[in-house]
Homo-oligomer: A and B are copies of this chain.
């Protein structure tokens, strides 16, 4: 009910669209026209599965609000997050699949309530005629590929303590989350994360509390993240 009909979202989202995607606001008038006519809007609750392995969604999704967590899941049930799609990004995986006629290889789940705009493939392809839009899309591709390569580096070469330390950095002095959530981010399990965090705490790098991790020594964590040997408190 957020939209009486597809091209007439309930006020707010359209403003947010332009705000999040300046490139769409800068389209040619005719392109913009086509976009607005063809777009389908969706507002979905948290935890909705938007696509899954071997099952594509039928349009190019522009995330207007909220975010999508894209994960690869293992045969044994564990999962590894590949990346997130936040407001202002399109799900390049969808793009890739639709443009390349490949199959999906991952699952996408909304993290919070999420508003997205779906564009039919034909319209999307037409918009690619406009160079700024095309550059925008390529830019996203580039970021995603760089991100995936980064991820490969991490899972293939970094130890879990390094990855965990990295995970803790850059999110403020104290983070409110459970060990389970951290484990999920790393594609690992709770016990190991608890163990490693305990180690960090013993080194004075963090202080632990229920559902919270307080960063005491960011520099030390950075050292750990980059694989330097732990230095004793002496």
Contacts and interface: CB of A to CB of B under 8 A. Distances in A.
Contacts of A102: 142-143, 146
A105 interface: yes
- Please classify how large the interface on chain A is, using the bins under 10, 10 to 19, 20 to 34, 35 or more: 35 or more
Contacts of A128: 134
Interface string A133-168: 011001111111110111111011100000000000
A30 B156 CA distance: 46
Interface in A42-95: 72, 74-76, 78, 80, 82, 92-93, 95
A50 to B, nearest CB: 17
Contact of A72 (B100, B134, B138, B149): B149
Nearest to A151: B152
A87 to B, nearest CB: 19
Contact of A142 (B101, B106, B135, B150): B101
Report the copy number of this chain in the oligomer.
2
Nearest to A106: B149
B78 A149 contact: no
Contact of A148 (B74, B97, B148): B148
A97 B142 contact: yes
Contacts of A143: 100, 102
Contacts of A135: 99
Interface of A: 72, 74-76, 78, 80, 82, 92-93, 95-97, 99-103, 105-106, 125, 128-129, 131, 134-135, 138-146, 148-153, 155-157, 187, 227
Which 8 pairs across A and B sit closest by C-beta, in order of nearness? A100-B142, A74-B157, A99-B138, A96-B142, A148-B148, A96-B145, A155-B156, A105-B149
Given A74-B157, A78-B157, A100-B142, 7 more contacts: A75-B227, A92-B145, A101-B139, A128-B134, A129-B131, A134-B134, A151-B152
